[in-house]
């Protein structure tokens, strides 16, 4: 987003430091873009730091602006996804309109791009961004981001990417002060041809912008530059993507193909959904024999073999995945061979595909994720034991991929209980350590009674609360 003269608001915004807006004491400015200034602030009631985006007063003077802003903020606040920056609050005071968000310490992808990214790192960021966009694109009322760019991708520790400023471009669009000034919304360097020319946009426009971000990550610069927004837009409309810049950096051909398709000039020639894109990118990585940085990505077909730095606390050789005894399914053979479920241990007849107790796939294909072996040569696994109120215990084992925990089916570990959110938390394995992250659940996740604000490394025997439900974590082999 661009503004005619951001300087004009400097005094008004600088005067905010030390002031209190609602429940928030403004600390220091973190950064500013074309439209707004972002401050670090203390949420007085909860004693935690937040980021507050303050819009200059000229917007608030706009008729209907605050009403529209509020409506959109409500819609965007419904987006709950690990790759979308959570909005905590919204307010208006003395003509100042502000949005309160999670404070993210790791800077933005824009800053990270000062150093080169490997294809693997870039692809990992793109998959995370696509996952976040996918959540918005598949809402009943489709939400298009409209300003996908590295400055709107915040990085939390561990290279977690969070998309910010969802729909803000839409809120500001049509604001008379802006249109009068002849200022377009969105960032021309990353804008799709249809958005640049003012046509209606749909999720495929975000896929285009993400393709330009991918290009930037790998080529080290954006594909089209120019002196004016219009000259840049014209290049997006007419000029072929300068693939030679990717080739000069040694970007493998299958990845180049993905970027080309993301950035096709006509929306119908692009990937039509973020899922289609993620699948294509995973396949391209596999063809190019590039592993994603070892981490999560549920249900991915992408390879995840590489572990760069085994943690010192677990010793053990890095060996190819062990082969587990796999049940053989023969539809003609109904004999009563039983196999036990990897996850919950229940016995099942070998004619079943899924465990009758916990629903886990008896073929246990997720075992391919296990590459890190413990001292006994067996893979390191996680065990979560749910203690219910009667102090009964149910115990489940998990592989070295991502485990989702929540109240509803579809999660790997389903914990019923009113205080557990539908998607409450996730657990994954990274470089020899098990990491737990709360997914902005309503009632929070605690480890040994400490509330999680960011992902933490679990230790054997840790007691975890998902809302009021108690689970004990152990490593096992
Ligand atoms: N939630 C946050 N936590 C920490 N830093 C943030 C947060 N949100 C934004 N920032 C920082 O503030 C800067 C300004 O953000 P802002 O969204 O106002 O501008 P921008 O994204 O760079 O440009 P535009 O105005 O086009 O959106 C960002 O570049 C980032 O460094
Ligand atoms: Mg921004």
Ligand nearest to the Cα of 101, by number: 1
Return the higher-pLDDT residue of 157 and 463.
463
pLDDT digits (tens, 9 = 90+) for 375-387: 767 788 999 998 8
DSSP class of 410: T
Integer distance in angstroms from the first to the last C-alpha of the chain?
A: 52
The answer to whether the CB of 189 is under 6 A from ligand 1 is no
The residue ranking higher by pLDDT, 25 or 32, is 25
% pLDDT > 90, the chain:
43
Pocket test for ligand 1, best of 108, 148, 149, 166 (most atoms within 8 A of CB): 108
Task: Indicate whether residue 106 lines ligand 1 (CB < 6 A).
Answer: no
Q: Is the pLDDT of residue 7 over 80?
A: no
> Which residue, 42, 38, 41, is CA-closest to 53?
38
- Ligand 1 pocket mutation pick from 30, 55, 145, 188 by most atoms within 8 angstroms of CB: 30
Q: Which two tokens stand for residue 362?
A: 């008896």
Ligand 1 touching residue 9 (CB < 6 A): no
Q: What pLDDT, on a 0 to 100 scale, did the predictor assign at position 215? A: 98
pLDDT digits (tens, 9 = 90+) for 218-251: 999 999 999 988 999 999 999 999 999 999 999 9
Residue 183 has pLDDT above 90, yes or no: no
220 burial via Cβ count (<10 Å: 0-12, 13-18, 19+): middle
Q: Indicate which ligand has the atom closest to the C-alpha of 52.
A: 1
Choice between 75 and 458, residue whose per-residue pLDDT is larger: 458
Residue 316 is predicted with a pLDDT of 33
The pTM score is 0.64
Q: Which of 2, 38, 114, 154 to mutate to test the pocket of ligand 1 (most atoms within 8 A of CB)?
A: 38
Averaged over 437-460, what is the pLDDT? 93
pLDDT band for 88, please (50, 70, 90 cuts): confident
Q: Is the distance from CB of 145 to CB of 136 less than 8 angstroms?
A: yes
Q: At what angle do helices 274-287 and 253-262 cross, to 10 degrees?
A: 170
Of 122-136, 249-263, 450-464, which one has max mean pLDDT? 249-263
Q: Judge whether residue 423 has pLDDT over 80.
A: yes
Among protein residues, the one with the nearest Cα to ligand 1's atom 14 is: 32
Residue 373 C-alpha from the chain's centroid: 28
- Which residues carry out catalysis? 147
Residues 139-162 have a mean pLDDT of: 90
Residue 50 pLDDT greater than 80, yes or no? yes
Separation of 26 CA from ligand 1 center, angstroms? Answer: 16
Is the Cβ atom of 403 under 6 angstroms away from ligand 1? no
Could you give the CA distance from residue 245 to residue 219 in angstroms, rounded to a whole number? 6
- What Cα–Cα distance (Å) separates residue 161 from each residue in 57, 83, 99, 112, 411? 31, 6, 20, 12, 22
Give the pLDDT confidence score for residue 2 in this predicted structure.
40
Helix, strand, coil tally for the chain in percent (to 5):
30, 25, 50
H and E: helices and strands count for the chain: 13, 21
Dihedral, CA of residue 254, residue 258, residue 263 and residue 264, to nearest 10 = 80
Structure confidence at residue 150 (pLDDT): 97
How many Cβ atoms from other residues are within 10 Å of residue 192's Cβ? 29
- Would you place residue 310 in the very low, low, confident or very high pLDDT band (cuts 50, 70, 90)? very low
- Is 319 a residue whose pLDDT tops 50? no
Residue 314 Cα to ligand 2 midpoint, Å, equals 40
For the packed helices 274-287 and 203-219, what is the interaxial angle rounded to 10 degrees? Answer: 30
Q: So what's the pLDDT on residue 186?
A: 59
pLDDT at position 10: 60
Measured in degrees and rounded to the nearest 5, phi and psi for residue 462 equal -60, 140
Q: Which of 131-168 are b and which e, b meaning 16 or more Cβ less than 10 Å from the residue's Cβ?
A: bbbbbbbeeeeebbbbbbbbbbbbbbeeebbbbbbbbb
Q: What are phi and psi of 174, to 5 degrees?
A: 85, -5
- State mean pLDDT over 367-373: 81
Q: Which atom, in ligand 1's list, is nearest to the CA of 36?
A: 18
C-alpha count within 13 angstroms, C-beta hemisphere, residue 349 = 8
* pLDDT averaged over every residue in the chain: 81
More confident residue, 384 or 33: 384
The CB of 87 under 6 Å from ligand 1? The reply is no
Q: Quote the ligand 1 centre to 36 CA distance (angstroms).
A: 8
Given the structure tokens 């938390």, which residue do they identify?
Answer: 425
Ligand nearest to the CA of 38: 1
């Amino acid at each position: 987003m661009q503004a005619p003269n951001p300087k004009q608001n400097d005094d008004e915004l600088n005067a905010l430091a030390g002031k209190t807006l609602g429940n928030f004491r403004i600390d220091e400015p973190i950064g500013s873009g074309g439209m707004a200034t972002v401050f670090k602030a203390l949420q007085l009631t909860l004693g935690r730091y937040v980021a507050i985006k303050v819009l200059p007063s000229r917007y608030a003077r706009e008729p209907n602006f605050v009403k529209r802003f509020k409506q959109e903020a409500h819609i965007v606040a419904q987006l709950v996804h690990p790759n979308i920056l959570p909005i905590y609050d919204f307010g208006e005071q003395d003509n100042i309109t502000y949005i309160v968000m999670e404070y993210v310490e790791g800077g933005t992808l824009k800053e990270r791009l000062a150093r080169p990214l490997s294809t693997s790192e870039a692809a990992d960021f793109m998959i995370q961004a696509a996952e976040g966009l996918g959540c918005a694109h598949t809402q009943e009322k489709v939400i298009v981001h409209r300003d996908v760019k590295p400055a709107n991708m915040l990085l939390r520790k561990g290279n977690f990417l969070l998309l910010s400023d969802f729909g803000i471009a839409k809120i500001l669009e049509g604001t008379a002060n802006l249109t009068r000034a002849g200022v377009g919304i969105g960032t021309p360097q990353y804008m799709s041809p249809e958005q640049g020319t003012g046509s209606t946009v749909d999720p495929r426009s975000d896929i285009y912008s993400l393709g330009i971000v991918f290009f930037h990550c790998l080529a080290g610069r954006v594909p089209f530059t120019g002196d004016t927004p219009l000259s840049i837009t014209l290049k997006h409309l007419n000029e072929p993507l300068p693939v030679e810049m990717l080739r000069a950096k040694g970007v493998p051909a299958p990845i180049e193909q993905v970027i080309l398709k993301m950035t096709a000039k006509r929306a119908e020639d692009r990937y039509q959904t973020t899922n289609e894109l993620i699948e294509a990118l995973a396949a391209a990585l596999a063809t190019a024999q590039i592993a994603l940085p070892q981490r999560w990505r549920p249900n991915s077909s992408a390879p995840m073999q590489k572990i760069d730095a085994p943690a010192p606390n677990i010793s053990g050789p890095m060996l190819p995945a062990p082969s587990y005894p796999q049940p053989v399914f023969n539809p003609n053979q109904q004999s009563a061979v039983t196999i036990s479920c990897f996850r919950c241990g229940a016995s099942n007849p070998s004619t079943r595909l899924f465990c009758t107790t916990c629903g886990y796939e008896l073929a246990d294909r997720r075992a391919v994720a296990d590459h890190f072996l413990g001292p006994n040569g067996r893979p390191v696994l996680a065990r979560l034991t749910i203690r219910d109120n009667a102090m009964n215990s149910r115990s489940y084992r998990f592989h070295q991929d991502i485990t989702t925990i929540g109240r509803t089916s579809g999660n790997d570990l389903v914990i019923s209980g009113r205080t557990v959110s539908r998607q409450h938390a996730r657990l994954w394995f990274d470089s020899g350590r098990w990491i737990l992250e709360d997914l902005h659940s309503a009632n929070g996740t605690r480890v040994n009674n400490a509330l999680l604000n960011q992902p933490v490394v679990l230790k054997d025997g840790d007691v975890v609360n998902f809302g009021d439900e108690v689970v004990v974590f152990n490593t096992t082999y």
